[in-house]
Amino acid sequence: MEEGTSKSPGYCANTGSDKDYGDADPFQWDTREDCEVRQILDRIADKWSLLVIALLDTRCLRFMELRREIDGISQRMLTVTLRQLERDGLVKRTVHPVVPPRVDYELTALGGTLHRTIQSLVTWTESHQSEIAAARVAYDARTAESEHAEA
């Protein structure tokens, strides 16, 4: 094994860096495909996953209830999203032995902890949306001015 190479396949830090970033390691979310942290972040940061997690926070829902609630999601995308969240231990799927079959989805305890984290991001966004809007306007104005000056 090469010097500086981690033996753990899930560890994603940049082992070649000699810089000290303190506790804020910018390489903790390595973009390599085999990075487990990156894979999990990609999954939970996906817009469909966020919506499913938000909807399942307070109640169990059936597939078609989720589909009706999530505007724009296809049946296939909802199926894929639910399977991935179930595989990651965030959503529990319960099949009831009735005719016609009934399947319910709910957050697991782990999924509930993720929802609280997501809610913190939503709260932050709501608190800072006017600052972000102002920054966007200022950026767009600067960009328009520089494009006009180049023309």
Q: Cβ(63)–Cβ(103) under 8 Å? A: yes
Using the predicted structure, report yes or no on whether residue 98 has a pLDDT greater than 70: yes
Q: Cβ(57)–Cβ(9) under 8 Å? A: no
DSSP alpha helix (H) spans, the chain: 36-44, 47-55, 63-69, 75-87, 109-150
Q: Cβ(115)–Cβ(57) under 8 Å? A: yes
Give the whole-angstrom CA distance, residue 5 versus residue 17: 12
Using the predicted structure, report yes or no on whether residue 3 has a pLDDT greater than 60: no
Q: Cβ(107)–Cβ(115) under 8 Å? A: yes
108 vs 34: which has the higher pLDDT: 108
**Confidence (pLDDT) at 148:** 77
pLDDT > 70: percent of the chain: 77
- Tens of pLDDT, residue by residue over 5-59, are 444 444 444 444 456 666 666 566 565 666 788 888 888 888 899 999 999 998 9
Using the predicted structure, report yes or no on whether residue 106 has a pLDDT greater than 60: yes
**Confidence (pLDDT) at 32:** 62
Structure tokens at 23: 């506790």
